Amino acid sequence: MALPQTEAVATECSGIDTMPEVAVLARVLAGQKAAVAAVESAMVPIADAADMMADAMRNGGRLIYAAAGSSALMAIADGLELGGTFGIAPDRIRLLMAGGLPVDAAMPGHTEDNVSEAEQAAKHIRHGDVVIAVTASGSTPYPCTISDLAKKAGARTIGIANNAEAPLFATSDIAIHLPTPPEVIGGSTRLGAATAQKAALNMMSTLMGIKLGHVHDGMMVNLLADNAKLRKRAAGMVATIAGVDVARAQACLQASGGVVKTAVLLAVGVEGAENAEAMLDTAQGNLRAALTAHGFYE
């Protein structure tokens, strides 16, 4: 019986343990490139997933990432960055990992089979949420169980897997198949499969942020500026977008309470933070739409 794609061994890696160091690294890099290339075939469902995620954010829902093992590490990395990059509140994101989030280097494999743990985690999922379940094999019990129960609870579901016809897809409103080639080390899905998952998750959340109006000309205008580096970045964004000097940008940021979008509107001449915030509310948080309404773009 043929092995699933995620369990097969790449034929070009036969004898890899006897190769020179640079040749080994070349094989590993080639595997990573091939994994990223595999994502291209899933552009349409990835775009659909981003739209679903943005809709949940607009309507009070939450994004819930569910996975086990290395797939969970990819999902967690995406979810944890949404606050800093797009200003999404932590209570709008939940991270469900089989066995719990790691606090050390111990990540036992048996937790992915814990259906009862998945059932407990799924009890908190509600209508309006979007569940993003990630599993290389597409059959891992923990995320598959959560996806199934989430759908029954009225949540919408996105499934990401690297094998075709994955059982996970049966409960996925949007199925994202990432057809990565056999791994350089057979079955080690922390390599190519995980790289493809990370790329797909990044694409989904980035497009979501753009749809929500949190990106303007490639700048993260809804970021949480909670350290010196980000405060400097925020001032630079206000100065660039509004076409003012840094001193003016910093003054507007102070007047806005550190909110970049509001500060930009103040910098282009909107009178008062309350008026700027009202304009943004009317524009559903989209800075470009608010600037257009003000006459900044003609």
Looking at residue 1, its pLDDT comes to: 47
| Domains located in the chain, CATH noted | 11-211 (3.40.50.10490), 215-294 (1.10.8.1080)
Give the mean pLDDT of 111-126: 92
The Cα–Cα gap between 243 and 290 comes to: 16
Looking at residue 9, its pLDDT comes to: 65
Of the pLDDT bands very low, low, confident and very high (cuts 50, 70, 90), residue 100 is: confident
Distances (CA, A) of 195 to 15, 83, 85, 164, 216: 24, 22, 20, 17, 27
Single-letter amino acid code for the residue at 64: I
**More confident site: 193 or 111:** 193
Phi and psi at residue 139, to the nearest 5°: -130, 5
Give catalytic residue positions.
81, 112
**More confident site: 191 or 81:** 81
Specify the DSSP class assigned to residue 165.
Answer: T
Going 89 to 91 to 97 to 102, the CA torsion angle's sign is positive
Calculate the CA dihedral of residues 271, 272, 276, 278 and round it to 10 degrees.
-110
Give the mean pLDDT of 95-124: 88
Q: Tell me the percentage of the chain whose pLDDT exceeds 90.
A: 78
DSSP string, 251-298: HHHHHTTS-HHHHHHHHTT--SHHHHHHHHHHTTT-HHHHHHHHTS--
The kind and range of the H/E element at 292 are: helix 287-294
The Cα–Cα gap between 247 and 254 comes to: 11
Q: What global pTM score does this model have?
A: 0.91
